[in-house]
Every structure is written in C-alpha cells, then in structure tokens.
Amino acid sequence: MLGVLDKYMFLDPKRALTELEKIKNNFESLQMCLVEAERAVNMIPTDSDKLTKYQNDVDRLNQRIQNVFLNSDVLFVPESYWQTPCSSHIVNKNRASLIQGQYGCLLSMRGFDTGIHKWTLNIIQRTSTCMIGVANTTVSRSGSINNYNTNGFYMNLSDGTLYSGPPFSYSNRACISGGVQSGTILILILNCSKHTLTYNYGGRDYLAYEKLPSNSKLYLAWDNNTVSGSEIEISNKYT
C-alpha cells in the first residue's frame, strides 16, 4: 500500500491524498460493520420468525460489507484488468480486441468465489459473435477449442443467446432478445452467495445462470470466435 502511495505522492500528490482518504473511509466503514456484526452475534434468536428476521438483517449487513469494496476506487488493482498472455486478444490496459483467426479465452485479472461482484463493459464494437460470461482458469487460452460450449458460462452478444459447458451445456438458449449492440453498456453481476450470473442491459436485469459451480473462483471471460474487429473496455474496473 505504501509503495503505491509513494508512487502517486511523487507523480500526483493530490491524487495520493485522495486515495488515502478513500482508504481511511473504507476502514471506518468496516469498523462500523464489525461493531454491527458483533451486536448481531450476541442477539441470535431461537424463535423461528425472529430467526428469519435475523437472517435478513445478516444478509443486509453482508451486502453493506461487500459495498465497502465494490464501491471503492482503491489503487490495488493492476492497471491492466485483463490476464495475458492470450493468443486471441490484444490487450491495452482495460481495453481488449479480437485477433482474426485465433482461438482463446481472455480472463479478468481477478476472480471471485465469495460476495457480489459487478463488471461494467463498454461494447465499443461488436462485429460478430462475442461470447461474454464467466469461467475458471481451466479454460483454454489458445489452440482450437471453443470454450463457450466446453468450459464456462457465456452469452453470445450477437443474438443474446446463452452458451455454456457442463453442467448446463446450453446452446442458443434465449436470454436478451436482439442481442447487445455496438456503442452500448453491458453489466455482468456475479453473485457468489446465490451462485447466479445476471446480465443488465438497457436498464433491465436478465438472470442467465443459476446454481453456478462453487468449487473454484469465477472470472470475467471473453471467448473468441476467430473474427476480428470486436473491441470491449472494462469501464468500471474496481467493482
């Protein structure tokens, strides 16, 4: 943490102070959450109705704790949000584009198996099929394998249909009518507590996957279809 702040203190002192203030606010919020959690533990009820209310209170507390991190803008995430190498994509910081004739799945730098996480994608250009979803690190980064029907959970932006590997093995399953167009925003919401993946497009939520596997971390995944031209940017890299 100090190393990152030292860097910005030298290059941009004002930004360094801003980031320190954000970190301070996050710690203060966490401290408040911990106080509430301790109070909740001491008030665990035995009556079934009260237990249900208690569980709802705990769920709200968990969401509040998650939001401390989901809404933060701390500098501990690498400047490039995409993992490399990947033979099918060109990466420039948070922007990625497809390479003609090359296979492979591009993953985000961070994967999750707990909490609720959101990726906001600016679909700069969609020239053809784009398989966007989540997958674990066992996907193929190169070669001639289409991950979207063997490994991971995706939506085809071209027509808004779902494709996936086991246990669902979806193929051309309807999700967003008309697909996702160039120049629009697509939001992916991964809920590791409920094991769901939801797409938000045009202000509407589309629940795409339920009962996702919980035995490994899931990453934002862009699987290639070997057609060049499509370009996507993570416009909110800290959620």
Task: Verify that 59 and 138 share a domain, yes or no.
Answer: no
Q: What is the total count of domains within the chain?
A: 2
Task: Verify that 105 and 66 share a domain, yes or no.
Answer: no
Task: Verify that 33 and 143 share a domain, yes or no.
Answer: no
- Please answer whether residues 141 and 87 qualify as being in contact, where contact means their C-beta atoms are separated by less than 8 angstroms: yes
CATH of the domain at 226: 2.60.120.920
- Please answer whether residues 156 and 173 qualify as being in contact, where contact means their C-beta atoms are separated by less than 8 angstroms: no
- Please answer whether residues 185 and 120 qualify as being in contact, where contact means their C-beta atoms are separated by less than 8 angstroms: yes
**The residue count for the chain:** 239
Q: What is the CA radius of gyration of the chain?
A: 20
- Domain presence at residue 83: no
Task: Verify that 117 and 203 share a domain, yes or no.
Answer: yes
pTM of this prediction? Answer: 0.67
Task: Verify that 186 and 114 share a domain, yes or no.
Answer: yes
Task: Verify that 114 and 220 share a domain, yes or no.
Answer: yes
**CA distance readout (Å), 183 to 81, 85, 121, 186, 231:** 20, 27, 10, 10, 10
* pLDDT digit string, tens, across residues 133-186: 999 999 988 877 789 989 999 999 999 999 999 999 999 999 999 999 999 999
Query: What is the domain extent for residue 166?
Result: 89-236
Buried b (16+ CB within 10 A) or exposed e, 121-139: bbbbebeebbbbbbbbeeb
In degrees, rounded to 5, the angle at the alpha carbon of residue 108 between the alpha carbons of residues 138 and 238 is 145
Task: Verify that 60 and 178 share a domain, yes or no.
Answer: no
* pLDDT digit string, tens, across residues 70-80: 444 443 444 56
Task: Verify that 97 and 64 share a domain, yes or no.
Answer: no
